[in-house]
């Protein structure tokens, strides 16, 4: 059993071992809890994680988010670590808890512990029938780490450390990252409900230019992210349309068929955090928002957009 989280794609590309922090006169390195919570924040938002190999420095948005989330992670787990260090409870029931999370399609923080004061936050995303499981360990970027039961403990496939046990941190709740990776400036047209690049206007099926009244500011994954790929930006109408169907290039509000901006491929999330109920119109291939009242907006092919056979997309916004 496993979920879609992949450390090579959804984990940070720098190591927890080198990230520095300070709190007044106190300074140190390593923010594993903050990195795990932050990685989940990006993953659950359906957005690609910051594409940087360099460790962020204090004051940068990525560092600030990780540091803030470190406090959240420790607030949820400090009492569990204390209990584990003093009593070393049997970790077997935690395996069943991990299985329930994975079966539900959710990656979940897994906290490893051994001698007094030694604890480490990781992220579990896969579990096997023999009791082993796979984790994202922020100490080892871009690597899938396996934890295997051994001699009453749990062996780490990369460090070879034998941890005494582990527990599941079920206190995580989503928090919007300080910095969302992606392309900003996308908006929803009030009249036709299509997604378009707000800074560039664009032709509306109703006539004239799109109307951005009341629209949020949306963020799209450009050449990155996980979900449904194949979405393109039309340089004629400045709208988003599905270009992955070789049998249909869609109908452009500016006339004719859509014409894609080359070298740009967008990926839309099929869940996560953001505004849901975005659909693909089977007639014009555009991405449109189906309102709570079931109103589909105006289609350049005539009448209303059709969501027949469409996936349901979730679009993050600011």
Looking at the structure, tell me whether residues 24 and 163 fall in a common domain. Answer: yes
Phi, psi of 78 (to 5 degrees): -60, -40
Instruction: Tell me: do 163 and 194 sit in the same domain.
Output: no
Token pair in block for residue 278: 């975005």
163 and 186 fall within a common domain: no
Based on the fold, state whether residues 164 and 213 are members of the same structural domain.
no
Name the token pair of 189: 């047209």
Whether 61 is covered by a domain: the verdict is: yes
Residues 23, 88, single domain; the answer is: yes
Among 137, 168, 199, residue at a domain's last position = 168
- Strands 287-289 vs 275-280: parallel, antiparallel or unpaired: antiparallel
Regarding whether 58 and 134 lie in a shared domain, the answer is yes
Number of domains in the chain: 2
**Helix or strand (DSSP H, E) at 32:** helix 32-44
Residue 180 is predicted with a pLDDT of: 60
Instruction: Report if residue 173 sits inside a domain.
Output: no
One domain for residues 221 and 295: yes
pLDDT at residue 182, as a whole number: 75
pLDDT at 226: 73
What is the DSSP code (8-state) at residue 292? T
* pLDDT the model gives residue 151: 93
**Overall pTM > 0.75:** no
Report pLDDT for 308: 87
Residue 174 lies in a domain: no
CA atoms of 108 and 171, how far apart (whole Å): 10
Q: Is residue 121 part of a domain?
A: yes
Q: Is residue 176 part of a domain?
A: no
Phi, psi of 79 (to 5 degrees): -70, -30
Indicate if 117 and 191 belong to the same structural domain: no
Q: How far is CA 102 from CA 125, 134, 248, in A?
A: 6, 11, 37
143, 188, 242, 283 from 301: Cα distances, Å: 47, 19, 15, 6
Domain termination residue (choose one: 168, 199, 216): 168
* Nearest of 117, 31, 16 to residue 66 by alpha carbon: 31
Place of tokens 């690049």: 197
Q: What is the pLDDT of residue 278?
A: 94
- Indicate whether 187 and 157 sit together in one domain: no
- Number of Cβ atoms within 10 Å of the Cβ of 1: 14
CA distance 2 to 124: 9
Residues 49-98: tens digit of each pLDDT: 887 889 999 988 889 999 999 999 999 999 999 999 999 999 999 999 99
pLDDT at residue 249, rounded to an integer: 82
Verify that 64 and 209 share a domain, yes or no: no
Structure tokens at 302: 């005539």
Tell me which residue range forms the domain holding 107: 7-168
Q: Which residues of the chain have pLDDT under 70?
A: 47, 178-181, 272-273, 292-294
Number of H-type helices and E-type strands within the chain? 4, 18
Question: Which of 168, 192, 209 is the endpoint of a domain?
Answer: 168
Q: Which of 54, 59, 172, 155 is nearest to 108 (CA)?
A: 172
pLDDT for res 177: 75
Tell me if 257 is assigned to some domain.
yes
Regarding whether 157 and 24 lie in a shared domain, the answer is: yes
What pLDDT, on the 0 to 100 scale, is given for residue 217?
Answer: 87
309 and 188 within one domain: yes
């Amino acid at each position: 059993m496993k979920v879609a989280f992949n450390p090579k794609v959804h984990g940070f590309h720098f190591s927890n071992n080198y990230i520095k922090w300070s709190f007044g006169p106190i300074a140190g390195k390593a923010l594993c809890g903050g990195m795990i919570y932050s990685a989940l924040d990006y993953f659950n938002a359906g957005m690609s994680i910051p594409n940087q190999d360099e460790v962020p420095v204090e004051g940068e948005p990525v560092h600030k988010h990780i540091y803030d989330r470190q406090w959240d992670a420790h607030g949820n787990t400090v009492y569990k670590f204390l209990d584990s260090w003093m009593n070393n409870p049997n970790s077997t029931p935690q395996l069943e808890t991990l299985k329930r999370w994975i079966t539900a399609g959710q990656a979940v923080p897994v906290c490893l512990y051994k001698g007094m004061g030694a604890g480490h936050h990781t992220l579990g995303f896969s579990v096997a029938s023999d009791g082993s499981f796979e984790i994202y360990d922020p100490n080892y970027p871009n690597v899938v780490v396996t934890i295997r039961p051994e001699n009453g403990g749990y062996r780490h496939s990369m460090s070879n450390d034998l941890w005494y046990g582990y527990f599941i941190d079920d206190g995580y709740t989503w928090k919007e990252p300080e910095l969302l990776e992606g392309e900003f400036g996308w908006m929803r047209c009030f009249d036709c409900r299509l997604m378009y690049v707000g800074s560039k206007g664009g032709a509306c099926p109703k006539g004239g230019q799109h109307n951005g009244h009341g629209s949020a500011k949306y963020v799209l994954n450009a050449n990155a992210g996980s979900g449904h790929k194949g979405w393109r930006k039309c340089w004629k109408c400045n709208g988003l349309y599905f270009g992955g169907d070789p049998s249909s290039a869609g109908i452009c509000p500016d006339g004719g068929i859509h014409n894609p901006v080359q070298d740009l491929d967008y990926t839309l999330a099929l869940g996560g955090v953001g505004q849901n109920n975005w659909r693909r119109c089977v007639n014009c291939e555009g991405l449109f928002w189906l309102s709570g009242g079931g109103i589909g907006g105006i289609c350049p092919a005539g009448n209303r957009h059709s969501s027949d056979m469409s996936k349901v997309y979730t679009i993050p916004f600011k």
